[in-house]
A and B are shown apart, each in its own frame.
Chain A
Amino acid sequence: MRKYLNVFKISFAQEFAYRLNFIMWRVRNVLQILVLFFLWTTVFSDQGRVIFGYDKAKILTYVFGVLIVRALVFSARAVDVAGEISKGDLTILLLKPINYFRYWLTRDFSSKVLNLGFAVVEIAILFPLLKPAIFLQTNGYSLLGFAISLTIAVLLFFTILMATNFVAFWAPQVGWGAQFFVIVVMSDFLAGSLFPLDILPAVVQKVLLFTPFPYLIFFPIQVYLGKLTGMAMWSGIAISLFWLAVLSILTNKIWRRGLLVYRAEGR
């Protein structure tokens, strides 16, 4: 346990080594949130308007919820795994008495803690400036569901990210393309970062809810907003747990197969 604590500390310190990098990344997050904020504020310029089952307070809570949940779920150091494999740097970690998955999960946690801290500061700055109407959930049951679904989302994203990066075992040059496709495009859009998925037609929503992506962002925020309670909430949690189990097994299998073909190029 202590070695992972040290990995956490070192990784946390490393984030500060590239301060400008990190600050720019956060600036980009804020800009994306500003687009959504102004877009939805315009759509809900009439205070009493309810569209797609959202009033102004709930949709703006969704926008700010995305800022927080994205910081927790999507911030990850494991994006470097593909590069590590293609450069042969993986060898260094394979020689160490450390579990590869736990190592990257720990590094991800350090990144999440830092990003979450910044997201909270950003919200503290944006709130007085934008003065958004916000929905505060007080129901303990929904808050518990939110905490559970958020934890699953973090682990689910980790498995998706690792499986995507392991493509580099077979095709070292494809790592960046695969990551752009799965992480930047699929996960971001189909997870509900840009818009709540319930603006889509019912059929599309139903199909999407059988994929792992909505459980990364959309589902936890829906639970927080109290739009999913009781059976709907628990069945969603069950589906996301199912995906977590399936993807964990799959990622492990890809890892084992990948190690068989790993040639440590560049070392």
Chain B
Amino acid sequence: MKTAIKYFKVWWMMSRNSFMQMFAQRFGAIFLLIGKVLRFIFYLSFIYFLLKGTETLAGYNINQTIFFFLTFSLVDVVSQFFFREVYRFRPMIVTGSFDLVLAKPISPLFRSLMGGADILDLITIPPLIIAVYLIGSSLHPSGVETVYFLLLFVNGLLIATAFHIAVISLGIITLEIDHTVMIYRDLTSLGRFPVDIYREPLRGFLTFLVPVGIMMTLPAKALMGLVNLQAVVLSFTLSFVLIFLSLKFWNFALTKYSSASS
């Protein structure tokens, strides 16, 4: 408990610094925020007008398809909010300033992964939660379905955590992060729509190898009553395996850190 409080305090301090940095570039940040909101609205409009014309997509109606998109957005935005520091990790490795992180009495993984939350994402999270609640309510889920949804949402975040750990570990070994993380984001963006629309073998790839389906589609399906307890347990098993493997990879990557340029 004491350790948890210590880490929360460190996270709070680092996030405050990150917010202040963002305020120093507030005009650029405003453009970025407006851009993010507009992009969200454009996607939502696209789904709305598309489904107005087609009525269903892979058997899902307009509200269900929008709910898939909102669930994707929520998992994506929350993980971006927590793991924004990953995008700033490469300079630390290239310049060797990662030495300073290693020397501090906190977990270097924690520092590298969560060393500065993103205020822009924080601003967009509350309206997104309200939208998820409103559209989710219109699907009339039962109590159990709602619990499954929440559990699988957390599970989606766990998988996202595993991927971000893998990305920074790979970054230590190859010095390449920016594109790896963007490829990860492009792959997860396939979850904007239910993975049912994709053809095999892509669907299998998105379900098992890069489990976008489990991260983004499954929580939404749970709220629609399309997921049973067995699937929830299996999903959590998979995320724990991924977390375990990513932590092993992180420990291996640390042994390859050369402290170059420091």
CB of A43 within 8 A of CB of B57, answer yes
Interface size class of A (residues with CB under 8 A): 35 or more
B256 CB to closest chain A CB, in angstroms?
18
Q: Is the CB of A28 within 8 A of B186?
A: yes
How far does the alpha carbon of A38 sit from the alpha carbon of B190 in the complex, in Å?
A: 10
Q: Does A175 lie at the interface of the complex (its beta carbon under 8 Å from any beta carbon of B)? A: yes
Residue-wise interface mask of A (95-139) relative to B, using a CB-CB cutoff of 8 A (1 in contact, 0 not): 000000000000000000000000000000000000000000000
Beyond A32-B186, A171-B27, A174-B28, whether A185 also contacts B39 by CB under 8 A is yes
Q: A34-B202, A185-B39, A194-B46 are in contact. Are A175 and B28 (CB under 8 A)?
A: yes
B49 at the interface (CB under 8 A from A): yes
CA of A174 to CA of B35, assembled, Å: 13
- Chain A residues with CB under 8 Å of B38's CB are 181, 185-186, 189
Q: Within the complex, what minimum Cβ distance (angstroms) separates B65 from chain A?
A: 11
Q: Closest approach, in angstroms, between the C-beta of A185 and any C-beta of chain B?
A: 4
| Given A38-B197, A38-B202, A185 and B42 contact (CB-CB distance below 8 Å) | yes
Once the chains bind, are A200 and B49 in contact (CB under 8 Å)? yes
A20 to B180, CA, bound (A): 10
Contact of A35 with B29 in the complex, beta carbons under 8 Å: no
In the complex with contacts A42-B57, A181-B32, A185-B35, A27-B189 CB distance below 8 A = no
Q: Is A199 an interface residue (CB 8 A)?
A: yes
Taken together as a complex, chains A and B put the C-alpha atoms of A185 and B58 apart, in Å, by: 27
Bound Cα distance A175, B182 (Å)? 21
In Å, the complex CA distance between A93 and B25 comes to 27
B residues in contact with A32, CB < 8 Å: 186, 189
In the complex, the answer to whether A174 meets B39 with C-beta atoms within 8 Å is no
CB 8 Å contact bits of B182-206 with A (1 = contact, 0 = none): 1100110110110001110010000
Q: Is B179 an interface residue (CB 8 A)?
A: yes
Question: B123: CB under 8 A from chain A?
Answer: no
**Contact for A189 among B27, B42, B190, CB less than 8 A:** B42
Query: Can you name the residue of chain A whose Cβ is closest to the Cβ of B51?
Result: A43
Q: Which residues of B contact A228 (CB under 8 A)?
A: none
What is the CB-to-nearest-CB distance from A26 to chain B, in angstroms, rounded to a whole number? 11
Q: Specify which chain A residues have a CB less than 8 angstroms from the CB of B35 in the assembled complex.
A: 177, 180-181, 184-185
Chain B contacts with A in 180-232, Cβ cutoff 8 A: 182-183, 186-187, 189-190, 192-193, 197-199, 202
Cβ B29 vs Cβ A177 within 8 A = yes
B34: Cβ under 8 A from any A Cβ: yes
Residue of A nearest to B28 (CB): A177
How near does chain A come to B131, taking the closest CB pair, in angstroms?
Answer: 19
Cα-based distance from A171 to B199 in the complex (angstroms): 47
Q: Which of B46, B58, B183 has a CB less than 8 Å from the CB of A28? A: B183
Contacts of A24 in B (CB 8 A): 179, 182-183
CB distance B190 to A176 under 8 Å? Answer: no
Interface string of A169-192 (1 = CB under 8 A from B): 001011111101100111001000
Complex CA–CA separation, A180 to B176 (angstroms):
22
Q: Mark A183-221, 1 if CB is under 8 A from B, else 0.
A: 011100100001100011100000000000000000000
B127 interfacial by beta-carbon distance below 8 Å: no
Which residues of chain B have C-beta atoms less than 8 A from A31's C-beta?
A: 183, 186-187, 189-190
The answer to whether B197 and A34 touch across the interface, beta carbons within 8 angstroms, is no
The answer to whether the Cβ of B30 comes within 8 Å of any Cβ in the partner chain is: yes
Taking CB atoms, residues of chain B closer than 8 Å to A178 are: 28, 31
Q: Is A39 an interface residue (CB 8 A)?
A: yes
Decide: A41 and B28 in contact? CB cutoff 8 A.
no
23 pairs of residues in contact across A and B, judged by CB atoms under 8 Å: A20-B176, A21-B179, A25-B179, A27-B186, A28-B182, A42-B58, A43-B50, A43-B54, A43-B57, A51-B53, A173-B25, A173-B27, A174-B27, A175-B28, A177-B25, A177-B29, A178-B28, A178-B31, A186-B38, A189-B38, A194-B43, A199-B50, A200-B45
B binding-site residues for A, Cβ under 8 Å = 25, 27-32, 34-35, 38-39, 42-43, 45-46, 49-50, 53-54, 57-58, 176, 179, 182-183, 186-187, 189-190, 192-193, 197-199, 202
Other than A21-B179, A184-B39, give 7 A-B pairs with Cβ distance below 8 A. Answer: A24-B179, A27-B186, A43-B57, A174-B25, A177-B25, A177-B35, A199-B53
